[in-house]
Amino acid sequence: MSLAYTECLQDLRNRIAAQNFVDAIRDEDTQHATRLIEAKDLKSALAYSMKYEAAKTVSKTSRNVRSIEIEDDTGKEKDEKFDCL
């Protein structure tokens, strides 16, 4: 990157690297979210996109909740919900 833009200031090179990283993100939602933070450098763009992906993954798995019926020692049925991790 530094060889391609030798005449540019370091700040501008960092922004170009961050923009190129965001352009290369395949997941549309992650790309849009990362673009909205207007990252000033590659490190902050990468950190944000990783946090976004982690939050998105956790949100997907927490939706997988189902209800089951079990009987306790007294013979009464209970309705409990368990999270699928």
Q: For the whole model, what pTM was predicted?
A: 0.58
pLDDT of residue 9: 87
**Beta carbons of 60 and 83 less than 8 angstroms apart:** no
Higher-scoring residue by pLDDT: 59, 64: 59
Question: What are the structural domain ranges in the chain?
Answer: 3-64
Higher-scoring residue by pLDDT: 41, 84: 41
pLDDT, mean over the chain:
79
pLDDT of residue 31: 92
Mean pLDDT value across residues 61-85: 61
- DSSP letter at 5 equals T
Q: How distant, in Å, are the alpha carbons of 17, 19, 38, 51, 66 from that of 56?
A: 25, 22, 20, 9, 20
